[in-house]
Amino acid sequence: MSSPAASSKAPRLGTLVLFTDRPGQHLDLVRALGEIAPCHVRDAAAVAPAGDCIGFVADLDLLQPLQLRGLRALIAEAPHLPRLFLMRDLGERSLSVARSLGACLSLPVDTPADQVAEAMRAHLESPLPDLVRSTRQQGRSAVIAQAADEAGAVLAGMLDSARLTGKVDPMLVEHGLDPILGAVGEAGLGAWLDTVRAYDDATYQHCLLVAGLAATFAIELGFSRRDREHLVRAALVHDVGKARIPIAILNKAGPLDAEERAIMRTHAELGHAILVEAGGYDDSILAVVRHHHELLDGSGYPDGLSGDAIPDIVRLITVCDIYAALVEHRPYRAPMPTEEALAVMRGMEGKLDMALVHSFGRAVSQG
Ligand SMILES: [Fe+2]
Ligand SMILES: [Fe+2]
């Protein structure tokens, strides 16, 4: 095993692989990954045994299938390996291929090498792969994985449509409701969160997390089937405006700066405009999309609503949304444990509806 002098953290057992067809451009990345574990550069078209590989990074043209043979063979042999994709092209087709290859994270190709290495380290240190594996051994994962695929396809369709046409047909959203409610009802929130957290890019992961949390919360609150569906519907579309936010901001491997944050915050109004343009959404869904970042003390956005001006359904989604943001994978930090995330939310008295935070806490603690 190599022992790079620059690292303060002990190298791991096993090796990392960098799949690329332009190794000369990634010397920094090979060095940064080498501080985690010895890093081998491989041609993704050539098939080789997985050996002691513990994770890989891919920098490839994902629209050239023949170039991906070796990478696909590695995934087939070791389906649970953490994997990061450096995206040369941030088009939806390439992102879809990355997701279909199980991307833990898709980053712009010019992401600094140390941030890519940190993201890999965070994924290696996460217990998720083991959880996913044990979930699979319990035979629940097929249901969850299929539901996540179906809901993910609905989400992809929604975001594509919003990006390309500025509208989303309300009927499209309906196809996502049953898979999510069925999967969460059958296998529980924990299995849903583990599956979704392990396999999607930032926006997909987040929207599917919020939808699963909304399903769980609706069950905890004793909602009727119709009301459960409505809450999941609201959750699925709540961030549809992100379809109009540059992907380099959405998937940035680090905290946003002030200018980027201001751009990101426009997603609430953009999402509202997309649904109004489409027509067919009721007022409560429109309110969720526009107001899910409002806070009870008036310090939220985009309209600075306060107190009673914020409808109950919006408050419910806001609670799910904030919790999801705390517990999801970010390239620059590990997911926050449930209890810690709930403590953060209990500290938001005056901003969040505390009665809802407490019942939400009961719902996710049972997950
Ligand atoms: Fe949002
Ligand atoms: Fe959100």
Concatenated DSSP letters of 102-168: T-SEEEETTS-HHHHHHHHHHHHHSSHHHHHHHHHHTT-HHHHHHHHHHHHHHHHHHHHHHHHHS--
Per-residue pLDDT of the chain (367 residues; tens, 9 = 90+): 333 333 445 556 789 999 998 888 889 999 999 999 999 999 877 888 888 899 999 998 887 767 777 887 787 777 778 889 898 877 766 776 787 677 767 788 888 899 899 888 888 876 444 434 444 444 456 667 778 777 877 888 888 889 889 999 999 999 999 989 988 888 888 888 877 876 556 788 899 999 999 999 999 999 999 999 999 999 999 999 999 999 889 878 788 999 999 999 999 999 999 999 999 999 999 999 999 999 999 999 999 999 999 999 999 999 999 999 999 877 677 789 999 999 999 999 999 999 999 999 999 987 5
Tokens of 276: 């109004």
Q: How far apart are CA 325 and CA 121, in angstroms?
A: 20
The CA 209 to ligand 2 mean position distance, Å, reads 9
Nearest ligand by distance to the CA of 292: 1
Nearest ligand by distance to the CA of 235: 2
Tokens of 68: 């991906």
* Segments making up each domain of the chain, as ranges: 15-125, 132-366
Sheet containing 105-108: give its strands across: 39-42, 15-20, 53-59, 83-87, 105-108
The CA 290 to ligand 1 mean position distance, Å, reads 9
Give CA separation, 59 vs 15, 129, 142, 184, 332, in Å: 17, 22, 29, 35, 20
Nearest ligand by distance to the CA of 236: 2
The CA 253 to ligand 2 mean position distance, Å, reads 18
> Do 104 and 199 touch, CB atoms closer than 8 A?
yes
Nearest ligand by distance to the CA of 207: 2
Which residues, by Cβ under 5 Å, contact ligand 2, an ion?
239, 321
Nearest ligand by distance to the CA of 268: 1
> Do 44 and 71 touch, CB atoms closer than 8 A?
yes
The CA 206 to ligand 2 mean position distance, Å, reads 7
**C-alpha count within 13 angstroms, C-beta hemisphere, residue 72:** 10
Nearest ligand by distance to the CA of 242: 1
The CA 200 to ligand 2 mean position distance, Å, reads 15
What is the CATH number assigned to the segment(s) 132-366?
1.10.3210.10
The CA 89 to ligand 1 mean position distance, Å, reads 25
In CATH terms, the fold of domain 15-125 is: Rossmann fold (3.40.50)
Peptide bond into 302 cis (omega under 30): yes
* Helix and strand totals (H; E) in the chain: 18, 5
The CA 239 to ligand 2 mean position distance, Å, reads 5
Sequence-separated (6 or more) residues with CB below 8 Å from residue 357: 319, 342, 345, 346, 348
The CA 267 to ligand 2 mean position distance, Å, reads 10
The CA 337 to ligand 2 mean position distance, Å, reads 19
